[in-house]
Amino acid sequence: MRPSHLDPRSPFVLETHELGRRPGSMRTVQRTVAAPDELGSGMIGIPSGSDLELDLRLEAVMEGVLVTGSIRGEAVGECVRCLEKVVEPVDAPIQELYVYPERAQAAVTSGDDEDEDVRELEGDLVDLEPALRDSVVPTLPFRPLCRPDCPGLCSQCGARLADDPDHAHDLIDPRWAALGGLAGSDDEKRES
């Protein structure tokens, strides 16, 4: 057994010792943890340190430990149309197999290492954080909206169109703009 590099005190490191490599043995884990840094994209993500609820089942199988369950939290971001704050509930399913190190090594030796992203147990410890990221980030909206029919911002002045649905500008065709200037100077001559 190689030495473990994981910190068992980390909230994302799970202990599997009590499963005892007996296929079919199972235990559940329910805990609230602080979200790690940078859990999301540029437009929306779960703020660092906010609560994430983990509801997991760890089950011993022949190859290793299967972790299934859900991750719940709240993502915060900006509407892509009007830049207002968006708050989205997140309920991401997770299913990840952590293989025993000797199983992973046997697969490499036999040339059957088809999946390069195989996650291994480190001793009796499971590092949940990479699998958590892989589960949560794809569930976040690619283009978050404050509401489905958000009209966005005015392209002329940047006013929020949802606040003033009748917002409009008098647009003058640039080809006629010079004539508008002549009309204004003609009116000034008449007044003097």
Closest C-alpha among 32, 8, 18, 23 to residue 97: 23
pLDDT tens string for the chain (192 positions)?
Answer: 344 577 888 889 998 888 878 888 899 999 999 999 999 988 899 999 999 999 999 999 988 899 999 999 999 999 999 989 999 999 999 999 999 887 666 655 665 555 556 788 888 899 999 999 999 999 999 999 999 998 888 888 888 888 888 888 877 777 777 776 676 555 555 555
Concatenated DSSP letters of 70-138: EEEEEEEEE-TTT--EEEEEEEEEEEEEEE-HHHHHHHHHTT----TT-EE-BTTEEE-HHHHHHHHGG
Q: What is residue 106's predicted lDDT score, i.e. its pLDDT?
A: 61
Sign of CA dihedral 45, 48, 51, 54: positive
| Cα separation, 24 vs 43, whole angstroms | 42
